[in-house]
Structure 1
Amino acid sequence: MTLISCFSEPMILLQHIVAACGGKKKGDSNKKMIKGTVVLITKDVLDYNDFFGDALSNIREEVDEFVGQQVSLQLISAVRADPAENGGRGKLGNLAYLEDVITTKTQAVVGESAFSVSFEWDEEELGIPGAFIINNFHHREFFLKNVILEDASSGEGHRIVFLCNSWVYPAKNYTYDRVFFSNQTYLPSEMPKPLLPFREEELKNLRGDGTGERQEWDRVYDYAYYNDLGDPDKGTTYVRPVLGGSPEYPYPRRGRTGRPPTKTDPKSESRLPVINGINIYVPRDERFGHLKMSDFIAYALKSAAQVFLPEFESLISHGKLDKDYDNLEEIYRIYEDRPDDQPAPTNDDGLLRSISGSINSEILKELLRNDKEKNPKFPVPKVIKGDKSAWKTDAEFCRQMVAGVNPVIISLLKEFPPRSKLNPEIYGKQDSTITREQVENMLDGLTVDKAMETNRLFILDHHDSLMPYVRRINATSTKIYATRTLLFLQEDGTLKPLAIELSLPNPNGDEFGAVSKVYTPGGNGVEGSLWQLAKTYVAVNDSGVHQLISHWLHTHAVIEPIVIATNRQLSVVHPIHKLLHPHFRDTMTINALARQTLTNAGGFIESTVFPGKYAMEMSAVLYKDWVFPEHALPADLIKRGMAVEDPNARHGLRLLIQDYPFAVDGLEIWSAIKTWVEDYCKYYYRSDEMIQEDEELQSWWKEVREEGHGDKKDEPWWPKMQSRQELIDSCTIIIWLSSALHAAVNFGQYPYAGFLPNRPTLSRRLIPEPGTPEYDELKTDPDKVLLKTVPPQLQMLLGISLIEILSRHASDEVYLGQRDHEWTNDVNALEAFERFGKKLAEIEGKIVELNNNPGLKNRSGSVKVPYTLLFPTGEVGLSGKGIPNSISI
């Protein structure tokens, strides 16, 4: 039973009247006044674009309205239970209200308002306050940042901080009390008993009852299948399978919205109209902050507007939606050299003004610049900034496999020729056709066997993952191959390509196996041009697998159910909630926006990435291979054969490619995270028994396995969560995936793929055959053949726009080793976190040294792009460096 149900509305009204009239009760003489500060941001502040003129006046009026009896607060005793209350809840103090606006307070964020508040408190009767109830009787919601009490108990300077960071809606929107706890950290067994019922009820409220359509003020975390990607009511073209809940298409769960089913298919959830897509439900506290939302909308508008306004209208009017660029110089001209954090100009004030209601004023001014530029302009991607042609070289092609945007696929070649794991009864013979004779003349005098024995042969394998889809994809306007790329590790630590195998399904049927061609590095002329095209098909595959698997599935999708389980099962005062919470910021929102506009049927991903309508289905098939413990960085490197265990080596691993920037920097970051997690967890859990007896922790891990990743619940590899080591390992993996791994595979997108010929997202035709006009054109104008193969103008511009949006660091980013608030009172935890920050600063210095070492040729390469994707701190914009705490974009 909630407090609202215990105290009827008339009773609440009576308390307000007594407080307003200065009424006293028995024992008032023993009471003292506890002074406090309440910091909040009104909704109007977050809605206005600028803070000048009438807008500022209106905001002040809105702030003043909260003074008086519009917002009430009641402190809850942490040590004195009320015997009249069911469950032994802590005694309540008298109602208090927001008093004066504190104008002298320095604002950390524009728009913050600080109010004074005074609580009558009988320390002898009530002890120490440990939580408070807040009621908002105003007609609009506000964002409650914190409440700080000064001299809250005996002794000078006893300060109690309540970290809130939550939206508080009008009381009529809730059927329960909004309760906030102090900044203390408690295991369930250590929670003061008077506060325990509030803790349990808060978790129950966050779990909800699994029914109904969620409203914006709801704070409910619940699970659903990915059944909202298709739109069957629009026709069969928009039908997509439900992902999750079936052996055919297993998938991590997403946040439930409760929207009604479609008319056509009761298993599919109806979709919001595109114009309302930004309002897709996630729990209100998970939504982007106003600065992040402002930036996100602004840059999304800028990128889309500069494509659609000048280019789309022109292409439509001429009926040339598939127009190609004639040469590479035309592509180079769509870029302009400007600071990475400055938006490009656009020339349609009306459109932007009409749809930019919540955009930061400074960004809006930039958006509305009009310099009569006729062509869209993007920042120059780093891959062509120093040298416009180095991206074409074999050396750069290989270097990006260990230091580019997708450095997590390359593996050691363990058998020659490479063998397929596809079912031969379905797919026939799929083993590689690459021969020793084709590669042994490039092994610096070694035989294939000797090169393998000395760990010098590697492979980028996109064969088995793609072959089941090649026939279906090639039945559309897209044409791809399944590919295998063999590589040789040279004495200077760099890789060189040996052969590329392009494979198609047998035209007589899948069961007859693959039809394959092998290409080797060529010189000038047609052979060289064919080799360049072969590399393009590899880049297309790597680009799609990166976007759908390395990036979306292995970070965004697998983390969301862990976010949900954490909020449902771990109280905000639980130490593991406090540990993980910063690493979940904005993840549910960006995933919801992705479902609405990127990964949905006909969305940006299907329109610009080669699997098309099979994109998300393919990611579900590959989720079958997902194993949680194997996503620890050391385990991943060992699985791919990129490292071997060695107790004498740094971090206990010896890299087989010593100059492997992702792995070298990644192991430093991994080790720092693990040390921090170990120090933190061992402080709160002094034995394995404490892990086993923590009911919240056990419920959390059970729900992660059985609900969040329910299609994997019976896998034997899940940690059992019976020991401190299992907790440390699991939390380290979660933080690694949410921070460093995501940074490594996300923020290099624009630096490398912003120039789309380097990493094209699809190919439109197969490699030219001798005797065809396309083959003859390859002799005279190979670049034109390339541009007829990669995306045409409109798709290329859309792809660049999307990549630019997703590669930006926001202005309110919080990086690894940082927190933007007082998150705990525990000195030991704070000291461990400080050590973590210092270690990350040391790692930054090491990365700078490594990038300046000319002997490490994979660190920058001929394109002169230093590897900074795992540099802990970053900069706003397209800096290509920095590890945000969370998957926030």
Structure 2
Amino acid sequence: MFSGVTGLFDRGQKLKGTVVLMQKNALDIDALTATNNPTGIIGGAIGIIGDVAGNIIDTATSFLGRSVALKLISATTADGTGKGKVGKETFLEGLLTSLPTLGDKQSAFSIHFQWDSTMGIPGAFYIDNYMQGEFFLVSLTLEDVPNHGTINFVCNSWIHNSKKYKTDRIFFANKTYLPSATPAPLVYYRQEELKTLRGDGTGERKEWDRIYDYDVYNDLGDPDQKASLARPVAGGPGNLPYPRRGRTGRKPSKKDPKSESRSDAIYVPRDESFGHLKSSDFLGYVLKSATHRVIPNLRSKATLQLNNPEFNTFEDIRSLYDGGIKLPTDVLSQISPIPLFKELFRTDGEAVLKFPPPKVVQVDDSAWMTDEEFARQMIAGVNPHIIKKLLEFPPKSKLDSKLYGDNTSTITIDHLEPNMGGVTVEQAIQNNKLYILDHHDLLIPYLRRINATETKSYATRTILFLQNDGTLKPLAIELSRPHPQGDSLGPVSNVYLPASEGVEASIWLLAKAYVVVNDSCYHQLVSHWLNTHAVVEPFIIATNRHLSVVHPIHKLLLPHYRDTMNINSLARTILVNAGGVMELTFLWGDYAVEMSAVVYKDWNFTEQGLPNDLIKRGVAVQDPASPHGVRLLIEDYPYASDGLEIWAAIKSWVDEYVNFYYKSDADVVKDSELQAFWKELVEVGHGDFRNATWWFKMQNRTELKEACTILIWIASALHAAVNFGQYAYGGYILNRPTKSRRFMPEKGSVEYDELAKDYQKTYLRTITAKNDTLTNLTILEVLSRHASDEQYLGERIEGDLWTSDSQPKQAYKKFGKKLAEIEKNLIQRNNDETLRNRNGPVKMPYTLLYPTSEEGLTSRGIPNSVSI
């Protein structure tokens, strides 16, 4: 706290400071990817890079003179209106070249402020940029402040020309205050900055704006381009339920006033963009340009022009990694000049498209076909949190029987018990031995429409038996599709049983493929997109609108928001939009986001924390005697056992942090900013659930700690678990197909005879086609990569300067040390041969929840945030 400042300064004394900033990156993602240059993305990009580089006048020395000005604001001495006194405008001085703490591309400048005893202790500052271009302000450090020492201002923000702003740009020292403890001279500035960030809810947002506001998902369709690209609005009264996104203010489309018109660049508040990052920026650029230029070229020329639109053998798939596909020279010219594309596609003088071998086939290229691996990936794969305990037999449906008939499963005891080693179904249910992967109810209402396209598929139920060795054994797969004479008659279902020889083994392999197709779609659109990317965005918006940067909860959550709004805007442009990658290459097609909205109807924030999720799915029970308060019923459950350790570490850190700033439950209740944040999050951000009774009331410390722990878990560990293994598992399309194009062959049919003669060819004609496979591999490899400047759980971009309070800093260091211990434990687990689910038949250890990683395609590492 600032106090006792009278007489600290001599009149005319100057305060010495250091300003650290970065120039705008010449590789501008929006400029690079928005080009319509007829020479293609490569020529267009190179031309734009040259234009940008040629026009950069903001060299390090150009910041000197009267280009950038700062004014200190007192935290202890008020003017006549009660606001902290503002010092004189001061400009940057000399360029410092020997500062040891400078980061890459950063420049440091000295500055001296006129500041005397009447001004008190600085607690904030204004900054003005008088240059044309923007720059990235990293920090201001004031040295030798009398009776105080060093004051740090951590900024990490883009600064545009001052004429772009309606209010002055202000930054606060790294002090942390609850609203009621804010020094009186800073109260006005704290409140005004939040007003600026909230905006007035009108107008189209511009690149330099710093306004956080909400909107519904009405920008995924493009009805102005084509009627078939119209999509229903998601979010808001009368629409499909959905979390809110950041408002852009773009004009309505001409053909559908409820839909927002589309543009290549989508507004996100300036400090949410990739721009200050090096590798994340480039990965975003690669993702966007791959979708716009490279993939269309590969789809149209690398397959169709080569008169080979299908894979014919499993070895053809292997050739993508071992030998590659010969490319036409015009396709190569679109790829090779970009360094990262050259790495991604392994192009060389022979013009070969070659991908890195996915981990799932690096040791054994056929182990993915085994039943044990098929089941193991439900608890240690890329979608490991969907499997549930079977509570009743036969499994029933929640669908309206008047609309969809009787959807009770047709799987019988006679199907199951012959493969259960003498255990009855009733005994297995009582002893927690039967589990189900259920992709039935979501699919049935949409299957008739989905199957009316070139895709052909089923709703699926898979029943599994927990064996004494800890592994799961698939017992039966039910494939269901709508009755040909009407939905109300109920589905037509067939049950398939494991087989290891003859055509029955091929049928069983196909049955598993239909299951995995459904699981792949659910993973990408629900587990990944909806339940991490989309649900976090309203928290980011509400935080910035109502929690000041000096608020302790803002500081706690800030690392877990890094780049999320930006990657989400990119997803709405090229991934989940109408005609985007997900609609193009996944079974759900045009209904992708709509079906995720159906799942969102059952979303419950309090159930997103790992322990509650495990209990809800019946795979764990409460047990106070267990280390984490729950006991796993599948003891060797890699995602759950690893996740519980990460969850406990996050929870312990959050407990210490919240207890430091909130001494009682009353402190939570009277925190005006926190209450405003939570109220708006519930009523607007996730407004379709505003009347849900499960929301925390935010009336005590326990609720606050639980809410923060859940949010951090979602943004960090949960996202890591469902994202960074995508290429490791899905990069081998045989293992995780995303589409099915044929129904199951029936005895006596030509297709059945083909299957008996050449099961590989039939399998490949059934699953994802070559075009879509190339698209998938290209995108999954980018999404599965870590940037070189990634911030992992337990790290902060601000280093040790994120707060001036020593106890929270020590608690955070303890959190980091605990994560390091956990990683050692997880490595030991993976070396324990008695835990058969840790590596499985594919000999691929479960590493997705290892906290750390290196750059690139590692299948490990927990970034702080949903950053890719």
Global fold match (TM > 0.5): yes
Give the C-alpha shift of residue 438 in structure 1: 1.0
Aligned twin of 1:135: 128
Residues 443-499 of structure 1: CA distance to partner in whole angstroms, max 9, x if unpaired?
111111111111100000001121111111111111110100000000000000000
Q: 2:839 aligns with which of 857, 860, 863?
A: 860
Aligned twin of 1:17: none
1:230 to 1:708, Cα distance in 2 relative to 1, 3 A: same
How many residue pairs match? The answer is 838
Matches of 2:564 and 2:115, distance apart in 1 = 40
Alignment of 1:61-140 (within 5 A): 62-83=59-80, 85=81, 88-106=82-100, 108-122=102-116, 124-140=117-133
Kept after mapping to 2: 8 A contact 1:203/1:571: yes
Matches of 2:709 and 2:152, distance apart in 1 = 28
Aligned twin of 2:853: 874
Match of 2:110, SS state, is strand
Aligned twin of 1:290: 277
Matches of 1:474 and 1:679, distance apart in 2 = 53
1:305 to 1:239, Cα distance in 2 relative to 1, 3 A: closer
Aligned twin of 1:479: 456
Alignment of 1:17-416 (within 5 A): 30-43=11-24, 62-83=59-80, 85=81, 88-106=82-100, 108-122=102-116, 124-154=117-147, 158-272=149-263, 277=264, 279-288=265-274, 289-291=276-278, 292-298=280-286, 301=289, 308-309=296-297, 312-317=300-305, 323-336=309-322, 351=334, 363=340, 371-416=348-393
Match of 2:59, SS state, is helix
Matches of 2:612 and 2:838, distance apart in 1 = 23
1:669 to 1:60, Cα distance in 2 relative to 1, 3 A: same
Matches of 1:298 and 1:472, distance apart in 2 = 34
Match of 2:118, SS state, is helix
Match of 2:772, SS state, is helix
Residues 805-831 of structure 1: CA distance to partner in whole angstroms, max 9, x if unpaired?
111111110000111212111101001
Give the C-alpha shift of residue 791 in structure 1: 1.4
Alignment of 1:651-690 (within 5 A): 651-690=628-667
Match of 2:678, SS state, is helix
Residues 61-106 of structure 1: CA distance to partner in whole angstroms, max 9, x if unpaired?
62211101111101000011100x4xx2100111111001101123
1:299 to 1:706, Cα distance in 2 relative to 1, 3 A: closer
Matched, 1:583 2:560: yes
Give the C-alpha shift of residue 28 in structure 1: 11
Give the C-alpha shift of residue 772 in structure 1: 1.1
Kept after mapping to 1: 8 A contact 2:394/2:412: yes
Matches of 1:863 and 1:373, distance apart in 2 = 32
Give the C-alpha shift of residue 854 in structure 1: 0.2
Alignment of 1:381-530 (within 5 A): 381-530=358-507
Kept after mapping to 2: 8 A contact 1:336/1:377: yes
1:348 to 1:770, Cα distance in 2 relative to 1, 3 A: closer
Kept after mapping to 2: 8 A contact 1:334/1:375: no
Give the C-alpha shift of residue 432 in structure 1: 0.4
Matches of 2:351 and 2:292, distance apart in 1 = 15
Give the C-alpha shift of residue 373 in structure 1: 3.2
Aligned twin of 1:759: 736
1:261 to 1:299, Cα distance in 2 relative to 1, 3 A: closer
Matched, 1:825 2:813: no
Give the C-alpha shift of residue 306 in structure 1: 6.3
Residues 114-163 of structure 1: CA distance to partner in whole angstroms, max 9, x if unpaired?
000001110x21110000000111111110000000012326xx000000
Matched, 1:778 2:778: no
Matches of 1:214 and 1:450, distance apart in 2 = 61
Matches of 2:665 and 2:596, distance apart in 1 = 37
Kept after mapping to 2: 8 A contact 1:402/1:410: yes
Matches of 2:568 and 2:816, distance apart in 1 = 29
Give the C-alpha shift of residue 53 in structure 1: 13
Matches of 2:421 and 2:827, distance apart in 1 = 32
Matched, 1:816 2:802: no
1:264 to 1:187, Cα distance in 2 relative to 1, 3 A: same
Residues 720-762 of structure 1: CA distance to partner in whole angstroms, max 9, x if unpaired?
0000000000000000000000000111100000001101001
1:838 to 1:271, Cα distance in 2 relative to 1, 3 A: same
Kept after mapping to 1: 8 A contact 2:299/2:771: yes
Matched, 1:739 2:704: no
1:694 to 1:29, Cα distance in 2 relative to 1, 3 A: closer
Kept after mapping to 2: 8 A contact 1:307/1:376: no
Aligned twin of 1:341: none
Matched, 1:843 2:837: no
1:363 to 1:424, Cα distance in 2 relative to 1, 3 A: closer
Match of 1:125, SS state, is coil
Kept after mapping to 2: 8 A contact 1:304/1:798: no
Give the C-alpha shift of residue 614 in structure 1: 0.4
Residues 347-402 of structure 1: CA distance to partner in whole angstroms, max 9, x if unpaired?
86754589x6xxxxx64885898623344111100001100000000000000000
Q: 1:834 aligns with which of 813, 817, 831?
A: 813
Alignment of 1:529-540 (within 5 A): 529-540=506-517
Give the C-alpha shift of residue 310 in structure 1: 5.6
Match of 1:560, SS state, is helix
Give the C-alpha shift of residue 652 in structure 1: 1.3
2:277 aligned partner, one-letter code: H
Kept after mapping to 1: 8 A contact 2:198/2:212: yes
What 5-or-longer segments of structure 2 have no aligned partner? 1-7, 30-44
Matches of 1:774 and 1:375, distance apart in 2 = 34
Matches of 2:133 and 2:382, distance apart in 1 = 44
Question: Could you state the TM-score of these two structures normalised by the residue count of structure 1?
Answer: 0.91
1:684 to 1:409, Cα distance in 2 relative to 1, 3 A: same
1:68 to 1:876, Cα distance in 2 relative to 1, 3 A: same
Match of 1:507, SS state, is coil
1:831 aligned partner, one-letter code: Q
Kept after mapping to 1: 8 A contact 2:301/2:331: no
What 5-or-longer segments of structure 1 have no aligned partner? 1-26, 339-343, 357-361
Question: Could you state the TM-score of these two structures normalised by the residue count of structure 2?
Answer: 0.93
1:501 aligned partner, one-letter code: E
Matches of 1:213 and 1:54, distance apart in 2 = 27
1:132 aligned partner, one-letter code: F
2:312 aligned partner, one-letter code: D
Kept after mapping to 2: 8 A contact 1:304/1:801: no
1:376 to 1:304, Cα distance in 2 relative to 1, 3 A: farther
Give the C-alpha shift of residue 696 in structure 1: 0.2
Alignment of 1:572-611 (within 5 A): 572-611=549-588
Matches of 1:326 and 1:865, distance apart in 2 = 27
Match of 2:449, SS state, is helix
